[in-house]
Amino acid sequence: MRKILKFILYLIIAIICLFILLIAYWKYEELKNPAPTSEERKIIEENQSNIKERNERLYTCLRDNKETSLKLKNTECEAYADGGKVDFNDDSGKKDIIKNLKSKDYDQRYNKCYTEMTVAHSKRGLLKSNIDLSVKVRNSVCKAYAKGEELNYEGKR
């Protein structure tokens, strides 16, 4: 019984020592990182309001860019948010988007035509008998179809 009481006593002493160490560490952290003064608080609040205004300008630029046809680059919205000048009448970004859309449309039409013609040539045996001719025909016909010509090529669905 005495051993248990002695153990409990040492345990209580250890907990008290731990508590004292925690208080000492807390005080050390307070001294190491003191609370900001009233002047420092004003500076922090100004910085936070400036950052908030900048983020609002950036958000509105990106949102308007998405909802309208401005198509500014993200770097231009960043510059606008930072207070820089941005030419909203510059439509150079639109050209890239239109070009990409045309390129995607061209690729889709070409691939559709090429696949359908390959299946048709395979079914009638041209693919096995004269593959060079088959490839030349498919390339020339599918290029014209992809550029927008309406053709009734072999195998069209």
Look at residue 146 in the predicted model and tell me its pLDDT.
84
Phi, psi of 154 (to 5 degrees): -65, 125
Could you tell me if 125 and 84 lie in one domain?
no
- Give tens-digit pLDDT for 22-69: 999 999 988 888 877 888 888 888 888 888 888 887 777 777 766 665
86 domain-assigned: yes
102 domain-assigned: yes
CA-wise closest residue to 155 among 141, 143, 147, 144: 141
- Give tens-digit pLDDT for 112-122: 888 888 888 88
60 domain-assigned: yes
Q: What is the pTM of this model?
A: 0.38
72 domain-assigned: yes
How far apart CA 98 and CA 94 sit, in angstroms, is 6
Of 60, 90, 120, the position where a domain reaches its end is: 90
Look at residue 97 in the predicted model and tell me its pLDDT.
47
Measured between alpha carbons, how far is residue 45 from residues 5, 21, 30 in Å?
A: 56, 35, 21
Domain limits for position 107 = 91-157
83 domain-assigned: yes
27 domain-assigned: no
- Overall number of domains in the chain: 2
